[in-house]
Amino acid sequence: MNAVGGRAPCSGSTRRRSRAPRRLALAVRWAGRALCWSLAAAMASAAADLVLAPGTPWWPAVWPLPWYLTGASALAWAVLRAREKAARRPPDEEDLPAGWDKAA
């Protein structure tokens, strides 16, 4: 080890890892955030509709929009999360290298 907190020369991987899993995880995270915020906006608009009863002509067309966004972001999150879980699934038995059958 070099200095305190330093890395050993061969402690890092020499192969480049694929960026696809990180990109997919980032997309899942952003879809989850969109789901949470659209649900919060939908509940706030429903509360405003109930409590304030706005009489503007555009309000009946606008207040359900966050609910539509909630449904769309929930669907996007579910699809992305399923793809993320499928990408992390361990390989099948016939795809395993022969050396993995031996115990340590």
Q: What is the pTM of this model?
A: 0.65
| Residue 83, C-beta contacts closer than 8 angstroms, at least 6 positions apart | 24
Instruction: State the maximum Cα–Cα separation within the chain, in Å, rounded to a whole number.
Output: 73
Q: Are the C-beta atoms of 49 and 64 separated by less than 8 Å?
A: no
Query: Quick check: is 100 in a domain?
Result: no
**pLDDT score at 21:** 75
Query: Quick check: is 94 in a domain?
Result: no
Q: Is residue 11's pLDDT more than 60?
A: no
Query: Quick check: is 69 in a domain?
Result: yes
**Angle between helix 20-51 and helix 65-87 axes, rounded to 10 deg:** 160
**pLDDT score at 28:** 94
Query: Quick check: is 103 in a domain?
Result: no
Query: Quick check: is 68 in a domain?
Result: yes
Q: Are the C-beta atoms of 33 and 80 separated by less than 8 Å?
A: no
pLDDT in tens, 18-59: 666 788 899 999 999 999 999 999 999 999 989 998 888 998
Domain count, the chain: 1
pLDDT in tens, 43-102: 999 999 899 988 889 988 888 999 999 999 999 999 999 999 988 877 666 666 666 666
**pLDDT score at 100:** 67
Element (H, E) at 92: none
Query: Quick check: is 52 in a domain?
Result: yes
| Amino acid at position 49, single letter | D
Domain with 55, as residue range(s), is 20-88
Query: Quick check: is 4 in a domain?
Result: no
Query: Quick check: is 98 in a domain?
Result: no
